């Protein structure tokens, strides 16, 4: 079995639309949450979101191409472009061994909402012939594969909030077992619209505090729900020896991955954290983790009452009370909001940044201790720690659990 390296990263997010800006704001604890501008939220209980700002697709593709893409695809295309540029992978891999695994939890929901409005106003003749190709969730993968002539395996994973962690994990396995030499992997989401916000609000998932800097507050006793976010995260993964032989800078190495299911409830996590704990345990075992290795844990950390205490319990089950207190934990959703299908990939990138810089991103907005969430969540200010491994955990509606373990790359 082959080793798997990461050689490129790209991001579009509420705290930056390129790696340089994202890295700076992540480590400085900048909050990307503000009042909703995409629609009028006057009649809504929820009036805040973590929107992507100052995004112009025409800076990256021409207008005619942009019009054929829903916003979720546009985000993915831009993140992929940056990752490809950093990796210098193009021309080094046979097209048949070059793949794309870009997932989306929801897909082209903006296209769906806008088309339904036109349909109601003017009937079926007002529905664009591009409606289906723009809406369906595989089109981020499809467009990127077309752009870079990636003729190998192409897989748009859809597992709600675990989507892009699963996409990266399944890409890791495909390369590890020789089905591909390199894969563009990650996730994307653009669902800050009137319908999605109403649906999440009515399912009691979103925070109704409506205070931009004090609503996405993972592990805090005052938490009452997540803040919806959007964007994309993409990494370039390739056979380690291939990367080494072509002189690529290895940013990190995927060394563990696990995929489990709670098989318990469509939205709530298992109260005893069985599925999450099993996934964390399996991924760490595959990575060869042993006590004493300095570990950063990027939590799913949604700021919902159930998730945060269950995730804390899962860590204690796997590492023991003392072991769980020794690791460095943070939830970057405190800054980005919950980016849904893009969350796992962006958080894997946060892990790579922590490994590279020796700095743990903070959990901002943390003020009040919850007795059931009593670990080191790196409150409010980054920590300078030279960690050797990083774990990114994603837990999705439907009971989907995905865990990635990443080891430090070349220094």
Confidence of residue 409 (pLDDT cuts 50, 70, 90): confident
Q: So what's the pLDDT on residue 87? A: 98
Q: So what's the pLDDT on residue 155? A: 95
Q: Is 253 left (phi over 0), alpha (psi -120 to 50) or beta?
A: beta
Q: Is the pLDDT of residue 197 over 80?
A: yes
Average pLDDT over residues 166-195: 98
Confidence of residue 382 (pLDDT cuts 50, 70, 90): very high
Average pLDDT over residues 145-151: 98
Q: Is the pLDDT of residue 107 over 50?
A: yes
Average pLDDT over residues 379-397: 97
Over pLDDT 70: what percentage of the chain? 100
Q: Is the pLDDT of residue 130 over 60?
A: yes
Q: So what's the pLDDT on residue 313? A: 98
Q: Is the pLDDT of residue 228 over 80?
A: yes
Q: Is the pLDDT of residue 359 over 50?
A: yes
| Long-range contacts, 208-213 (Cβ 8 Å, 24+) | 208/45, 208/46, 210/46, 210/47, 210/48, 211/48, 212/31, 212/33, 212/34, 212/35, 212/48, 213/31, 213/33, 213/364, 213/365
pLDDT digits (tens, 9 = 90+) for 33-60: 999 999 999 999 999 999 999 999 999 9
Q: Is the pLDDT of residue 21 over 80?
A: yes
CA distance 106 to 193: 12
* Mean pLDDT, all residues of the chain: 97
Q: Is the pLDDT of residue 411 over 60?
A: no
| C-alpha 107 chain-centroid distance | 14
Helices (H) and strands (E) in the chain, counts: 13, 13
What residues act catalytically?
A: 161, 300, 338
Global model pTM greater than 0.85: yes
- Helical axes 274-287 vs 305-326, angle rounded to 10°: 40
Q: Is the pLDDT of residue 214 over 50?
A: yes
At 97, is the secondary structure helix, strand, or coil?
helix
CA distance 214 to 223: 9
CA distance 211 to 48: 8
Average pLDDT over residues 86-109: 98
Q: Is the pLDDT of residue 283 over 50?
A: yes
Q: Which residue has the tokens 């980005």?
A: 336
170: tokens are 């399944």
Average pLDDT over residues 56-84: 96
Q: Select the more confidently predicted residue: 211 or 411.
A: 211
Write down all domains in the chain, each with its CATH number in brackets: 4-245 (3.40.47.10), 256-405 (3.40.47.10)
Q: So what's the pLDDT on residue 410? A: 72
Residue 358 per-residue DSSP state: T
CA distance 150 to 321: 46
- Helical axes 139-148 vs 71-87, angle rounded to 10°: 40
What are residue 237's DSSP bridge partners? 6, 183
């Amino acid at each position: 079995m082959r080793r798997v390296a990461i050689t490129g990263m790209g991001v579009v997010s509420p705290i930056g639309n390129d790696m340089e800006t994202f890295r700076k704001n992540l480590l400085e604890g900048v909050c990307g949450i503000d009042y909703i501008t995409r629609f009028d939220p006057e009649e809504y209980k929820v009036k805040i979101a973590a929107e992507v700002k100052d995004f112009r697709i025409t800076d990256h593709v021409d207008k005619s191409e942009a019009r054929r893409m829903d916003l979720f695809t546009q985000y993915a295309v831009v993140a992929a472009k940056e990752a490809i540029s950093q990796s210098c992978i193009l021309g080094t891999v046979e097209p048949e061994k070059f793949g794309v695994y870009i997932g989306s939890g929801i897909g082209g929901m903006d296209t769906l909402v806008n088309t339904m409005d036109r349909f109601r106003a003017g009937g079926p003749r007002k529905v664009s012939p591009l409606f289906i190709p723009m809406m369906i969730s595989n089109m981020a993968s499809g467009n990127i594969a077309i752009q870079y002539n990636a003729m190998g395996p192409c897989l748009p994973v859809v597992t709600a909030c675990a989507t892009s962690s699963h996409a990266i994990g399944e890409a890791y396995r495909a390369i590890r077992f020789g089905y591909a030499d390199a894969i563009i992997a990650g996730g994307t989401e653009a669902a800050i619209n009137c319908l999605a916000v109403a649906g999440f609000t009515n399912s009691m998932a979103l925070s109704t505090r409506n205070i931009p800097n004090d609503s996405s507050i993972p592990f805090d006793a005052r938490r009452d729900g997540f803040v919806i976010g959007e964007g994309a995260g993409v990494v370039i993964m390739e056979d380690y020896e291939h990367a080494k032989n072509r002189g690529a800078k290895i940013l990190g190495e995927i060394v563990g991955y696990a995929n489990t299911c709670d098989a318990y409830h469509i939205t709530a996590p298992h109260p005893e954290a069985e599925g999450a704990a099993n996934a964390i345990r399996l991924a760490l075992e595959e990575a060869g983790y042993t006590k004493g290795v300095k570990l950063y844990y990027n939590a799913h950390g949604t700021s919902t009452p159930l998730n945060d205490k269950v995730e804390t319990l899962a860590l204690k089950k796997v590492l023991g009370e003392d072991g769980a207190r020794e690791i460095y934990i943070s939830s970057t959703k405190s800054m980005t909001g919950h980016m849904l299908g893009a969350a796992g990939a962006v958080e894997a990138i946060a892990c790579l940044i922590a490994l590279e810089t020796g700095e743990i991103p903070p959990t901002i907005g943390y003020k009040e201790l919850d007795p059931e969430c009593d670990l080191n969540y790196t409150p409010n200010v980054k920590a300078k720690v030279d960690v050797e491994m990083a774990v990114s955990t994603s837990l999705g509606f439907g009971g989907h659990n995905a865990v990635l373990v990443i080891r430090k790359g070349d220094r």
